[in-house]
């Protein structure tokens, strides 16, 4: 009996290879599947009283007005809040946040300010509206969410929930949900760095 | 540090030249004999994880389970070493620098080494290797190690698997994921035995600079189970970090010291002079007895916790 997830994986890998304009694995590069035994990083996660949850919204075009992965941008929805007291006034500020996204093989995706994402029209407005708010952290139960944006490097192709990373003599098939987000919040005592795993989200169809 | 004695400089240079000369050739076919395991190992042992990493990425992975297991395990070790002050991956920091709110233009950007990228890569390669442990062990039983470099053929697959599990746990600890670390320590009784601790690390070939991290994660795990043992592993971690060139970040050392001084239910004091544990010191200023030999006494009321 055919395994539907294996079939799907094969289709996605083929599509990614097609996008990458690569030769097939039978030629000079092998495709290394994502490691089966790696469950990814915890989400939500916390550092002290600061909690965070990060998600890749597969159909984010419904919110942002465009599929940004086609423009070389990976949007990540981040929820960040605090549990316990507000001692130290933890807050998200542009000077400290310094976010990075690490794909499963460690490939670094650099942060792109919202103002540099989506060149025009409705998407530009939506990106500005839905970017991560700069604010004092709210209690975790009512913490707001917002998007951070990361530039997809030329060596990486993204399709649906997968990425294909190419280096040296091989391609690596990666799961986006095994990625790691790092960022920092500012407190009265200094910056606090937080690592949180990425999860997958799909908005309900209308 | 890992598997081989330091090679003579001339031999190493020759090996590297051979490797570099091959760099322009077409990718090697998938056999273990063609994959540059020995050369990668030499480069790593000589203190050049960047060159070792580039070499291991150059060719397609070898076809056999055992050779592929070793290739991924070696890549995991490369990233473990690189994450400790030898990072060859970089990232752009924007700390202190974006001009306005998240929509504003960058006013400052700088490239810095990215140990986090190496930690994530370590976990990736360790998972790739460990997914093949059973097949690699079977391959080894069947004599498949005959085509491996001697230094690798001498190692049992299960031993390397245990080494990779420990390296992964340390990576989780460094990223702040305590639950993953606790679950690893809980199923590793050899690590929580203070006397057997060095031998357990030797068996897993843990690099010297990573050992303070293992002490830190064992100490942290034991805080809710055995505070006296947690104290001793904490002191081991602090002293090891100093010995191996500040292998723990200052904030991690400070956190251990804070727990000892203010959060443990005990005060730890010199058995002779009764002087308490002193952050930043290594022994009693009066008796000279090292912190590791301090003893627990009940903390007076109002004295912390």
pLDDT tens digits for B127-143? Answer: 999 999 999 999 999 98
Contacts of A17 (CB under 8 A, 6+ apart): A24, A25, A31, A164, A171
pLDDT at A33 over 80: yes
Question: How many angstroms separate the CA atoms of B63 and B248, rounded?
Answer: 39
Phi and psi torsions of A144, nearest 5°: -80, 160
- Select the more confidently predicted residue: B258 or B245: B258
What distance in Å separates the CA atoms of residue B293 and residue A68, rounded to the nearest whole number? 59
pLDDT at residue A124, rounded to an integer: 86
The pLDDT confidence band at residue B77, using thresholds 50, 70 and 90, is very high
Q: Which of 18-37 (B) contact A at CB < 8 A?
A: 26-27, 30
Closest CA to B158 of B140, B143, B176: B140
Percent of chain B with pLDDT over 70: 83
Q: Which of B35, B77, B42 is nearest to B56 (CA)?
A: B35
Give the mutation candidate from A38, A94, A134, A173 for the B interface (greatest B CB count, under 10 A). A94
Three-state secondary structure call for residue A33:
coil
Cβ proximity of A41 and A54 under 8 Å: no
- Helix, strand or coil, per DSSP, at residue B232: helix
A123 touches chain B (CB under 8 A): no
Of A49, A92, A106, A153, which to mutate for an interface test with B (greatest number of B Cβ within 10 Å)? A106
Alpha carbon B93 to its chain's center: 24
Q: So what's the pLDDT on residue A169?
A: 75
Q: Is B304's pLDDT higher than 70? A: no
Residue B225, pLDDT above cutoff 60: yes
Residue B5 has pLDDT above 60, yes or no: no
Phi, psi of A136 (to 5 degrees): -60, 145
pLDDT band at B108 (very low <50, low <70, confident <90, very high): low
Q: Identify the top-confidence range among A79-88, A132-141, A161-170.
A: A132-141
Helix (H, G, I), strand (E, B) or coil at A131: strand
Mean pLDDT of A116-141: 87
* Burial B278-292, CB ≥16 within 10 A → b, else e: eeeeebbeeeebebb
Give the pLDDT confidence score for residue B128 in this predicted structure.
96
Lowest mean pLDDT among A46-55, B8-17, B229-238: B8-17
Torsion sign across C-alpha atoms B152, B158, B163, B164: positive
- For B50, counting Cβ atoms within 10 Å of its Cβ (0-12 exposed, 13-18 middle, 19+ buried), the class is middle
Check residues A30 and A183 and name the one with the higher pLDDT.
A183
CB atoms within 10 A of CB A69: 20
Chain A hits for B91, CB-CB cut-off 8 Å, are 100, 108, 110
- Rounded to the nearest angstrom, the gap between the alpha carbon of residue B278 and the centroid of all alpha carbons in its chain is 28
Verify whether the Cβ–Cβ distance A30 to B60 is below 8 Å.
yes
- B18 pLDDT above the threshold of 90: no
Q: Which long-range contacts (CB under 8 A, 24 or more apart) does B171-174 make?
A: B171/B80, B171/B83, B171/B119, B171/B120, B171/B122, B171/B123, B172/B123, B173/B213, B173/B216, B173/B217, B173/B220, B174/B83, B174/B115, B174/B119, B174/B213
Cα separation, B137 vs A152, in Å, equals 38
Decide if B103 contacts A14 (C-beta within 8 A): no
Are A52 and A97 in contact by the 8 Å Cβ rule? The answer is no
Residue B155 pLDDT greater than 80, yes or no: yes
pLDDT, residue B30, reads: 47
Q: Which of A69-73, B30-34, B274-278 has the lowest mean pLDDT?
A: B30-34
Average pLDDT, integer, range B195-216: 91
Work out the average pLDDT over B282-299: 95
Give A174's strand partners: A163
For residue A184, list chain B residues with Cβ-Cβ distance below 8 A.
95
pLDDT at B169 over 50: yes
The answer on pLDDT for A196 being more than 50 is yes
pLDDT, mean of residues B57-70: 90
Task: Please compute the mean of the pLDDT values over residues B55-78 and round it to a whole number.
Answer: 92
- Confidence label for A186 from pLDDT (cuts 50, 70 and 90): very high
Q: How many residues does chain B have?
A: 305
- Determine the Cα–Cα distance for residues A105 and A99; give it in Å rounded to an integer: 18
pLDDT at A17 over 80: no
d(CA A49, CA B241): 27
Average pLDDT over residues B284-296: 96
- Chain B: residue whose CA lies nearest to A42: B177
> Residue A166: in which H helix or E strand, if any?
strand A162-167
Average pLDDT, chain B: 84
**Euclidean distance between CA atoms B66 and B47, whole angstroms:** 25
Interface touch B54/A168, C-beta < 8 Å: yes
**B104 band by pLDDT with thresholds 50, 70 and 90:** low
Alpha-helical regions (H) of chain A = 4-20, 61-64, 94-97, 121-130
pLDDT at B27 over 50: no
Q: How far is A43 from chain B (nearest CA, A)?
A: 10
Q: Are A106 and B121 an interchain contact pair (Cβ–Cβ within 8 Å)?
A: yes
Listing DSSP states for A92-117 in one string gives: --HHHH--EEE-TT--EEEEE-GGGS
């Amino acid at each position: 009996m055919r395994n539907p997830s294996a079939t799907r994986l094969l289709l996605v890998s083929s599509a990614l290879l097609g996008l990458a304009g690569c030769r097939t694995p039978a030629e000079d590069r092998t495709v290394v599947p994502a490691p089966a035994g790696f469950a990814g990083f915890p989400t939500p996660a916390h550092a002290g009283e600061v909690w965070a949850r990060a998600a890749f919204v597969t159909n984010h075009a419904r919110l942002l007005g465009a599929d940004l992965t086609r423009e070389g941008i990976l949007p990540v929805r981040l929820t960040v809040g605090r549990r316990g007291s507000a001692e130290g006034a933890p807050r998200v500020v542009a000077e400290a946040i310094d976010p990075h996204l690490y794909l499963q093989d460690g490939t670094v995706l650099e942060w792109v300010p919202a103002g540099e994402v989506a060149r025009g029209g409705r998407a530009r407005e939506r990106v500005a509206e839905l970017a991560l708010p700069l604010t004092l952290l709210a209690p975790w139960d009512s913490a707001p969410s917002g998007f951070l944006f990361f530039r997809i490097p030329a060596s990486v192709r993204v399709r649906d929930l997968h990425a294909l990373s190419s280096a040296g003599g091989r391609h690596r098939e990666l799961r986006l949900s095994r990625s790691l987000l790092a960022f920092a919040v500012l407190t009265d005592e200094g910056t606090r760095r937080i690592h949180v795993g990425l999860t997958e989200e799909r908005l309900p169809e209308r | 540090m890992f598997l081989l004695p330091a090679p003579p400089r001339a031999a190493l240079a020759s090996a590297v030249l051979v490797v570099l000369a091959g760099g322009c050739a077409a990718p090697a076919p998938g056999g273990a004999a063609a994959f540059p395991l020995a050369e990668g190992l030499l480069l790593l042992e000589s203190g050049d994880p960047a060159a070792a990493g580039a070499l291991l990425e150059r060719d397609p992975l070898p076809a056999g389970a055992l050779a592929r297991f070793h290739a991924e395990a070696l890549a995991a070790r490369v990233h473990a070493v690189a994450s400790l002050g030898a990072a060859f991956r970089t990232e752009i920091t924007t700390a202190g620098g974006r001009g306005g709110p998240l929509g504003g233009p960058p006013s400052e950007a700088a490239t810095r080494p990215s140990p986090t990228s190496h930690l994530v890569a370590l976990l990736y390669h360790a998972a790739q290797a460990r997914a093949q442990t059973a097949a690699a062990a079977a391959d080894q039983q069947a004599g498949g190690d005959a085509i491996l470099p001697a230094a690798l053929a001498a190692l049992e697959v299960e031993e390397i698997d245990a080494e990779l599990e420990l390296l992964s746990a340390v990576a989780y600890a460094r990223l702040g994921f305590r639950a993953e670390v606790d679950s690893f320590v809980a199923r590793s009784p050899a690590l929580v035995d203070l006397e057997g601790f060095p031998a357990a690390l030797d068996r897993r070939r843990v690099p010297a600079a990573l050992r303070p991290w293992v002490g830190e994660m064992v100490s942290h795990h034991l805080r809710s189970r055995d505070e006296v043992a947690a104290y001793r592993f904490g002191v081991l971690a602090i002293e090891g970090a100093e010995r191996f060139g500040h292998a723990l970040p200052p904030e991690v050392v400070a956190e251990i010291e804070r727990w000892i001084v203010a959060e443990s239910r005990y005060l730890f004091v010199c058995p002779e002079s009764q002087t308490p544990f002193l952050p930043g010191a290594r022994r009693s200023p009066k008796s000279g007895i090292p912190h590791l030999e301090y003893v627990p006494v009940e903390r007076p009321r109002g004295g912390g916790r």
